[in-house]
Amino acid sequence: MSRKALLRRELLAARRLLTKEDAENAAVVLSRGALDLPELSGARTVAAYVSVGSEPGTRVLLEALRARGVRVLLPVLLADNDLDWAPYEGADRLVRAGRGLLEPDGARLGPEAVLEADAVLLPGLAVDGRGMRLGRGGGSYDRVLARLAAAGAHPALIVLLYDDEVVARVPEEPHDHPVDVVVTPAASRRTDRP
């Protein structure tokens, strides 16, 4: 098993130990911390995602961004694991999709829509001080980050995590891209991303 796979397994096991109440409380604190970021306070368009299961919660944040008048784009998983995007129009407009995900039921904007984002909230399992992010291993967000880099787009890259998921070192591969900011319940941290 690779170092990434071992680290994923450990982090997912720790997340399964969280109570629903702990996760809900963390989501409120994470939302406040993220909303205070200058990268989000001035954003007109934010690409985000709907948290599921024991992921650090995004639903409170999605509603707060929408209430501010921010255009929020949510991913729609394509058959090849790439991501299309659709506007977030409220929790009542989310539908169940494959892999237990929730996706917006509105018009699809195409994979390139992410290029319009001023900030991108990325799911993750861990981030280190250099900004290297460990995802779940499906490669969907690796494609998004590669698309942004190829287009010369530089939105703020932000990850919401639990406190113990900021680690000393994330194993990296040549296709990995660092993020700018990590928000945890305890604090927001800027990475050493070049």
Annotated binding site for ATP: 4-8, 133-141
In angstroms, rounded to a whole number, what is the distance separating the alpha carbons of residues 170 and 187?
20
- Cα–Cα dist 85/170, whole Å: 28
Residue numbers in the known binding site for substrate are 50, 55
Binding residue ranges: 4-8, 50, 55, 133-141
**Which amino acid appears at position 143 of this protein?**
R
DSSP summary character for residue 152: T
Count Cα neighbours of 174 within 13 Å in the Cβ-side half-sphere: 0
| Distance, CA of 138 to CA of 167 (rounded, Å) | 21
Q: How many CB atoms lie within 10 A of CB 171?
A: 15
